[in-house]
Structure 1
Amino acid sequence: MIQLKDVKKRFGRTNDEILAVDGVSLTIDEGEIFGIIGYSGAGKSTLIRLLNGLETPTTGTIKIGNREISAFTGKELREARQKISMIFQHFNLLWSRTVKQNIAFPLEIAGVKKADRERKVAELIELVGLSGREDAYPSELSGGQKQRVGIARALANDPEVLLCDEATSALDPETTDAILDLLTNINERLGLTIVLITHEMHVIRKICHRVAVMEAGKVVEIGPVLDVFQSPQAPITKRFVSQVTEPAGTDQAIAHLPGGTLIKLVFVGEKTEHPVLASLIRKFDVDVNIVQGNISHTKGGAYGSLILQLLGNENDIDTAIAYLHELGVQTEVIGNE
Structure 2
Amino acid sequence: MIRLDNITKIYQTSNGPVEALKDISLDVKEGEIFGIIGYSGAGKSTLIRLINLLEQPTSGSIKVHNQDLSQLTGKKLRKERQKIGMIFQHFNLLWSRTVAENIEFPLEIAGVPKKVRKERVKELITLVGLDGRGKSYPSQLSGGQKQRVGIARALANNPKVLLCDEATSALDPKTTNSILKLLVEINRNLGLTIVLITHEMHVIQSICHRVGVLDNGHIVEEGRVKDVFNHPKEDITKEFVKQVNESDEWASLIEEIISTHRSGKVVKLTFNGDIAEQPIVNDIYRDTSLTINIVWGKISHTQEGALGTLVLHIDSDQEQNIEKAIDFVESKGVLVEVIEHDAAIS
List alignment gaps of at least 5 residues for structure 1: none
User: Which residue in 1 is equivalent to 2:253?
Assistant: 253
Cα displacement string for residues 293-336 of structure 1 (whole angstroms, at most 9, x for unaligned residues)? 11111101211111111221222212221222222221111100
Once the two structures are overlaid, the 10-residue window that deviates more, 211-220 or 238-247, is 238-247
List alignment gaps of at least 5 residues for structure 2: none
**Cα deviation, residue 79, structure 1:** 1.6
* TM superposition score normalised by structure 2: 0.94
- 8 Å contact 1:86–1:154 — kept in the other structure? yes
The alignment status of 1:204 with 2:208, answered yes or no, reads no
Cα displacement string for residues 145-179 of structure 1 (whole angstroms, at most 9, x for unaligned residues)? 10011111111111111100000111111111111
**Cα deviation, residue 289, structure 1:** 1.2
Cα displacement string for residues 40-82 of structure 1 (whole angstroms, at most 9, x for unaligned residues)? 1111111001101011111111100121011222222222211
User: Which residue in 1 is equivalent to 2:60?
Assistant: 60
Distance 1:279 1:285 in 2: 10
Where do residues 225-240 of structure 1 align in structure 2 (5 Å cutoff)?
A: 225-240=225-240
Amino acid at match of 1:332: E
User: Which residue in 1 is equivalent to 2:341?
Assistant: 336
User: Which residue in 1 is equivalent to 2:328?
Assistant: 323
User: Which residue in 2 is equivalent to 1:180?
Assistant: 180
Distance 1:288 1:34 in 2: 39
User: Which residue in 1 is equivalent to 2:71?
Assistant: 71
The alignment status of 1:103 with 2:80, answered yes or no, reads no
Distance 1:182 1:80 in 2: 25
**Cα deviation, residue 200, structure 1:** 0.8
Distance 1:275 1:182 in 2: 33
Distance 1:295 1:328 in 2: 16
Cα displacement string for residues 15-54 of structure 1 (whole angstroms, at most 9, x for unaligned residues)? 7322211111111111111111111111111100110101
Moved beyond 3 Å, runs of 4+: none
Cα displacement string for residues 162-206 of structure 1 (whole angstroms, at most 9, x for unaligned residues)? 100000111111111111111111111211111111111111111
How many residues of Structure 1 are paired with residues of Structure 2 in the alignment? 337
Distance 2:129 2:284 in 1: 49
The alignment status of 1:44 with 2:48, answered yes or no, reads no
Amino acid at match of 1:158: N
- 8 Å contact 1:285–1:312 — kept in the other structure? no
Where do residues 130-209 of structure 1 align in structure 2 (5 Å cutoff)?
A: 130-209=130-209
Distance 1:98 1:13 in 2: 39
Amino acid at match of 1:286: L
**Cα deviation, residue 114, structure 1:** 1.1
**Cα deviation, residue 13, structure 1:** 5.7
Distance 1:216 1:90 in 2: 24
C-alpha RMSD over aligned residues: 1.4
User: Which residue in 2 is equivalent to 1:300?
Assistant: 304
Once the two structures are overlaid, the 10-residue window that deviates more, 115-124 or 247-256, is 247-256
User: Which residue in 1 is equivalent to 2:2?
Assistant: 2
Q: Using the aligned pairs only, state the percent identity.
A: 58
